[in-house]
Amino acid sequence: MAKKAKKPRGTAPEEQKKRRRRRKEWTFTNFQNVLALPERLATYLRLLLHLDKTSWDFCLDKLRQHVKWEAEVEDKRPKVQINVKGRERTSRSGPAYLAWSKSKGRGKGRRYFAAPCDELGRVQKSILHRFISQVFVHFARYGGQVGSSIMANAGHHAGFAKSVFSLDIVNAYPTVYRSRVRATLRKPFEFALRQFKGVTFSEEDVLKMLDSITDLIVFKDRLPQGPPTSPRVFDIVCGKMDQEIFQWLESNATPFQGYRYSAWTDNLTISSDGEIPLEVRQKVIEIVRENGFFPHMREDKMKYFSPETGERPIVTGLVVLPDGRITMAPRKVNQLRARLHQLMLRKAWDKEAMMLIDGTIGFVREIYPKNLPSKLRDVVLAVEARRASMRVPVVHDESIEDEDAIMLDEDPETKVPSPSKKKDEGPTETVSEVVLM
């Protein structure tokens, strides 16, 4: 039998298969520099951060345990089931960080978190208050700033915006690598060391101390989402990008049309009192990419609101009206109404429910301080009345699983016996007396 002639490779498109490149394994070294920091330099670092030696040593012990834990486990680390807000999550965690993930929605991937332990979190707060918070960020940054809120971010565009262009950054925190954090903080850290006048630091000493601080605020050589330092560090890293976007908008402004720019962490908003040309929008996307970030290309993440589209401008989830008023989108109103309704159905509120209620009511009252929308009026007033009539938890019963549950009494003058005494041991105390003690 005659052999069939072989077809030449690359003749058909389906036959032009490229070999898949194997992804390089992500290698990282956690806490290597801070654990090797000499005691002389660690002393000056503690002075700069207002840290006592005990807190510093406890933090280093946790870091050593984490490094030892990483060395003992295999390449595929064991999956640990943890419970976060009543839901089990698959996580790979260690002594220094507790890691978990949360779904963004169907087909939208997952969002990854890494919460530091108490010892490491205490040191990170000192780094934030004593060093990172002293570094200036661009004035367009509203997220993570003291005294700022999404109302202030939306208010920057209120009464001005006729068209709005908004876009999000994909996985904003993890795209900031260790090398970028180190390069961004180098000049501010060298300026901070000028406080130690009379002490000579070599170039190697400065780099060792800077690497130690970088070790304490990054995890797996990336900026994690969870530590208190990450939002401020991200805002500092975005400074160059914010300057370039502002410069581009100012160069395209005219006496008849202006632009305004604001940023809430990874959410960028550009507004104008006229139409925003396609060229301006494409250039903003290009600037974001040139600075090492990846803008979302989904329609719900990158959107253009204008009279042409027939949609009202939305800034960080808030609707900006032409007369300057700021309201919530109907979808958000329905979500908050459903959340508060579900909380009202509970017989008792634990600590987690109380935190959720306070946060939700505070958010609603920030946007609607006086006149509530009709959909939220009844449920918000009911929750506030129940919250105001809350009593101190003095009921202790073995049948109640959650001892932190706060019960409601129908009669405000009802007397409750002290939990430390029996019924026949002395008079009872009123609720007002318990509160004052």
The pLDDT of residue 192: 95
Range among 26-30, 179-183, 347-351 with highest mean pLDDT value = 179-183
| CB-CB contact of 400 with 413 (8 Å) | no
The pLDDT of residue 51: 95
Looking at the predicted structure, is the pLDDT value of residue 59 above 60? Answer: yes
Looking at the predicted structure, is the pLDDT value of residue 84 above 50? Answer: no
Looking at the predicted structure, is the pLDDT value of residue 151 above 60? Answer: yes
CA distance 134 to 230: 15
Average of per-residue pLDDT across 28-45 = 92
The pLDDT of residue 99: 87
The three-class DSSP label of residue 160 is: coil
CA distance 393 to 389: 12
Give the chain's domains with CATH numbers: 136-176+223-328 (3.30.70.270), 330-388 (no CATH)
- From residue 342, give the alpha-carbon distance in Å to each of 149, 167, 329, 349, 388: 26, 32, 20, 11, 18
Of 349 and 5, more confident: 349
Instruction: Tally Cβ neighbours within 10 Å of residue 195.
Output: 10
Which DSSP state fits 78?
P
Of 100 and 14, more confident: 100
**pLDDT per position as a tens digit, 126-142:** 999 999 999 999 999 99
Looking at the predicted structure, is the pLDDT value of residue 163 above 60? Answer: yes
The pLDDT of residue 412: 41
* Pick from 119, 139, 149: nearest CA to 57: 119
Tell me, yes or no, if the pTM score tops 0.75.
Answer: yes
CA distance 269 to 320: 12
The pLDDT of residue 2: 53
**Which 3-state string (H, E, C) describes 175-196?**
CCEHHHHHHHHHHHHHHHHHHC
| CB-CB contact of 386 with 344 (8 Å) | yes
CA distance 249 to 67: 47
Looking at the predicted structure, is the pLDDT value of residue 74 above 90? Answer: no
**pLDDT per position as a tens digit, 334-346:** 999 999 999 999 9
Type of residue found at 352: E
